[in-house]
Amino acid sequence: MTKPKITLETAAKLDQKDVLHNFKKEFYTDDNRFYMDGNSLGLLSKRAEQSLLSSLEDWKTHAIGGWTDGKEPWFYMSEKFGAKTAPLLGAKPEEVISTGSITSNLHQLLSTFYRPEGQRTKILADELNFPSDIYALKSQLELHGMDPDEHLIQVKSDNGATLSEEDIIKEMRSDIALLLLPSVLYRSGQLLDIEKITKAAHEQGIMVGFDLAHSIGALPHNLDDWGVDFAVWCTYKYLNSGPGGVGGLYVNEKHLGSKPGLAGWFSSKKDKQFDMAHDLNHAETAGAYQMGTPHILSSAPLLGSLDLFQEADIKNVRCKSLQMTRLMLDLVYQELDGLGFQIITPLEDERRGGHISLVHSEAASICKALKKENVVPDFRAPDVIRLAPVALYTTYKEVYEVMMILKEIMVNETYKKYKNERDIIA
């Protein structure tokens, strides 16, 4: 049976049924721009702006008193954000803290939980992960006197875009101490089976961590039920906290009470921190894995953003996200056939994150041509175009129009006006 042709009317009908439609009004959007890069940097919401201004007002009004007397006391802000983030993770409030950056948090948890002993000295990762995670793993190995060439095992991809869970499990041996993987692969948008991988790793006695940068805020998680040991993420993508916004970390309750590998001022129990003792009395919650003083002004926007997620419900966000990426994929087949594109994102809903990735030999040129037409995509060298319709502020009509603009660029060959090379920032 032939599928009915997708039209602008098709997209409009989807918008009429969209339970999240009104959330677009919460964001600063541009009617003349199609923003498809929310998986790199989410848009500013009016509530995030207001929560930032509130912290500025606390600073202006209370000065140092803002730590305890402000509208949102800074001293307890990280814990409050952790509690508000926990439902997105399937976690308990005490297991989650907002702090640092994704890489500093990864260093903290590797320093805490990577404990090479006997023959169990190696770390298992993959060859498709974001570079900064691999940098962190290699530097941690070197700090332990290990040669990364020998002790970092990276699971190979058979197609350069996705990973096989079976291939990952095959690499789980008795010499592996710790496993770190992304939940969603940044290049292809593949969603890994976290539960299956974690179960297999634990059967081999392996500590399990995940980088949730491309899944948090786009789909639900059940970290407690899955038994994940630890996780890290950034908040400036789907959580819309702003450029350089505070990161976050999760530590399963079975590990709470473990001494942080990298101790710092805010690792302390709240009621003991100002005893000023030189022996750390660390928190018994995820707060123990904080280090320095929270960056209040890069944290504050998250409060308003998380309020939106509480109202929207992450299940609704996931449902719309999948529908939008499905629409986009269907339009690739309908409108872009024969124009040189290859879809590298898994087609199955259960294996797809929040964005789709198209490979094309002229990808850099195409992205530049899209920007000229007020479409903001994301380019990943050497040949990947990433498009991320975000459930809280993208409409189905916008998805349709973006794909029509892409078709026009290809049919008219306007992309050939631009050099097929990336800019400084891609």
Query: Is 116 annotated for ligand binding?
Result: no
Taking a C-beta distance cutoff of 8 angstroms, is the pair 11, 400 a contact? yes
Is 69 part of any known ligand binding site? no
92: which 2 tokens?
A: 């308990």
Backbone angles phi, psi at 177, to 5 degrees: -90, -35
- Using an 8 Å Cβ cutoff, are 204 and 234 in contact? no
Residue 140 CA to residue 416 CA, distance in Å, equals 44
Does the annotation flag 330 for ligand binding? no
How many other CB atoms are there within 10 angstroms of residue 106's CB atom? Answer: 26
Q: Are 183 and 210 in contact (CB under 8 A)?
A: yes
Query: What number of other Cβ atoms are within 10 A of residue 143's Cβ?
Result: 12
Q: Tell me whether residue 293 is annotated as binding.
A: yes
Is 236 annotated to bind a ligand? Reply is: yes
The answer to whether 409 is annotated as binding is no
Do residues 213 and 233 make contact, with C-beta atoms less than 8 angstroms apart?
yes
Residue 367's CB is within 10 A of a number of other CB atoms, namely 26
224 is annotated as contributing to ligand binding: no
Tokens (6 digits) for 321: 């996200």
Query: What residue has token string 């690499």?
Result: 171
Distance CA(116)–CA(144), nearest Å, equals: 8
Three-state SS at 156: coil
Residue 131 marked as a ligand binder: yes
Rounded CA separation 327/342 (Å): 16
Query: What is the helix, strand, coil percentage profile of the chain, to 5?
Result: 45, 15, 40
Residue 34, judged by CB atoms within 10 A of its CB (0-12, 13-18, 19+), counts as buried
Q: Cα(182)–Cα(98) distance, rounded to whole angstroms?
A: 19
Binding site annotation covers 337? no
Annotated binding residues, written as ranges, equal 102-103, 130-133, 211, 214, 236, 265, 293
Annotated binding residues for pyridoxal 5'-phosphate, written as ranges, equal 102-103, 130-133, 211, 214, 236, 265, 293
